[in-house]
Amino acid sequence: MPAPSSAPPAASGAPAASQQPAAASAKPAASQPAAASARSAASGRVAIKSAYTTTAATTVPFWMAKESGAFEHEGLDVTFALIQPGAPILGALESGDVPVSAAGGQELVNAQVRGANQTIVAGFGSKLTNAVYVTPAITKPEDLIGKTLGVSGIGAISHVAGLVAVEKMGLKGQVNFLATGGLPETIAAIQSGKVVGGMLSPPQTFDAARQGLHELFDLSKTDARSQTSIVATTRKYINERPDVVERYIRAVIRGAHRAYTDKPLTLSVLTKYAGISDAEVASKTYDFFAGGNLWGKDGAPTMEGIQAQLNIAAEQNIPEAKNFKPEQMADTRFVDKIRASGLLEELYGKQLPLAL
């Protein structure tokens, strides 16, 4: 559906629908989804459920699409929920309960190599932003040999970053990983002694430093590439509702632009979704991502990053991954169409900076 040329409306400040407290009502709970659908139908928007898999700031373009009104601008009524990476989000996509979602590139690559119906339709950010944070007892990379690092989930972007970091430190195959359930939970696992360190990304890196942990290795200062935050859906849903997929991607592109150009709103979004209560930490997180162009701009997935993920899959436990090409993992028809539509010029002008 062609989008109007006006900018998305400013955020109202109201919580995302998926995070609003349940209101007292005499109506049965089962009637509430029907009521929401009726409201969407009355407004002419398509109502869909969506999700995100991490509270890391890599997800900002999606949160901003919701909070800035970009989804509504594109004719969508999107409700968000936090769903764990790996099997939970893949299952939600496959069942159609969540037809389009934010996710990590590695889990979609792994799933597709194994024959799953999901695919990548857009990418936002292709540079690993994680760093290895450890306890004071770990003073050099060699101290990690035989030890365990915490990651949010096996196959999640933090796990991918861990594998890359370990290899770059010369410790490939000599460090173990433990799924903690999330980046804040990784810090808790370090402090409880379950792991000696973890793969963290801003804002958690700032929290970790305040809690006495220290940086051992920073991947963001290397040339490591990986398709980090993606738009994921299924080929079945693409065939059924290509218009919704396109509008969703357009909205997230608008969300990324709003993040780069509206620091106050982005800070409020970081507080709401990433749980950052410290204003200084929120500001540092924003500066890290916006200053480094780490949210991308055009939604195009990076084939170099996807190839790196295929390599990781082949080295881990999916040897058949070596037989696939990155172009088989992503359906770029929508980002190609959006680029041709003039949306990027509308947002950024004629000289669009290259996405990282």
Specify the pLDDT at position 21: 32
pLDDT band for position 43 (cuts 50, 70, 90): low
**H helices present in the chain, as ranges:** 31-43, 60-67, 70-73, 87-95, 105-113, 157-168, 183-192, 204-210, 235-240, 242-261, 263-274, 279-291, 303-316, 333-341, 343-348
Specify the pLDDT at position 7: 39
Sorted by sequence, the CB contacts under 8 Å of residue 139 that are 6+ apart come out as none
Residues 119, 227: Cα–Cα separation, whole Å:
13
| pLDDT above 90: residue 261 | yes
Mean pLDDT of 220-246: 94
Average the pLDDT over each of 24-33, 125-134, 139-148, 214-223 and give the range with the smallest value. Answer: 24-33
| pLDDT above 70: residue 41 | no
Mean pLDDT of 1-12: 38
**What would the DSSP string read from start to end of 129-157?**
--EEEE-TT--SGGGGTT-EEEESSTTSH
Mean pLDDT of 195-220: 93
Mean pLDDT of the chain: 87
In sequence order, the β-bridge partners of residue 116 are none
In sequence order, the β-bridge partners of residue 308 are none
| pLDDT above 90: residue 316 | no
Specify the pLDDT at position 184: 87
Residues 152, 148: Cα–Cα separation, whole Å:
13
| pLDDT above 90: residue 255 | yes
Length of the chain: 356
pLDDT band for position 224 (cuts 50, 70, 90): confident
Residue 301 CA, chain-centre distance (Å), reads 13
Residues 29, 184: Cα–Cα separation, whole Å:
32
pLDDT band for position 95 (cuts 50, 70, 90): very high
> Which domains does the chain carry?
29-126+226-348 (3.40.190.10), 131-221 (3.40.190.10)
Mean pLDDT of 71-79: 98
Question: How many Å is the maximal CA-CA distance in the chain?
Answer: 62
Specify the pLDDT at position 203: 86
Mean pLDDT of 234-248: 98
pLDDT band for position 18 (cuts 50, 70, 90): very low
Mean pLDDT of 174-186: 92
Distances (CA, A) of 162 to 137, 198, 244, 291: 19, 8, 35, 24
Count Cβ atoms below 10 Å from residue 192 Cβ, excluding itself.
Answer: 8
Mean pLDDT of 268-294: 93
Sorted by sequence, the CB contacts under 8 Å of residue 173 that are 6+ apart come out as none
Element (H, E) at 234: strand 229-234
